Amino acid sequence: MKKAIITVVGRDSVGIIARVCTLLSENKINIEDISQTIVGGYFNMMMVVDMSRCEKVFTEMSAELERLGAAIGVVINCQREEIFESMHRL
């Protein structure tokens, strides 16, 4: 299983979750865990996803998510789970 961590941060607006989840679904990426909150008008979402059925290479999918973020006014970052874990170890 190829897992990744996706974060979405930016000013809150209608449709952020829908747009991100639609792109993931279209690329056969399964959301395993999701957390989102809005603080002071800023939207923050973190997802753990399974990319094992995605037909695109990781870098291509990551770039597509970044482009979507730019189009909807948020920053979307996608990291492989093992890199995320390594960066956040104590």
Beta carbons within 10 angstroms of residue 43's beta carbon: 18
pLDDT category at 90 given cuts 50, 70, 90 is low
Q: Class assignment of domain 3-87?
A: alpha beta
Beta carbons within 10 angstroms of residue 67's beta carbon: 12
Tell me: the pLDDT tens digits for 50-87? Answer: 999 999 999 999 999 999 999 999 999 999 977 656 66
C-alpha torsion angle, residues 48, 49, 51, 52 (rounded to 10): 90
Q: What is the value of pTM for the model shown?
A: 0.89
Q: For the chain, what is the radius of gyration of the CA atoms?
A: 13
| Run of H or E including 46 | strand 42-50
Tell me: the pLDDT tens digits for 6-50? Answer: 999 999 999 999 999 999 999 999 999 999 999 999 999 999 999
CA 44 to chain centre: 11
Tell me: the pLDDT tens digits for 26-37? Answer: 999 999 999 999
**Residue 30 CB contacts under 8 Å (≥ 6 apart), including other chains:** 24, 49, 50, 53
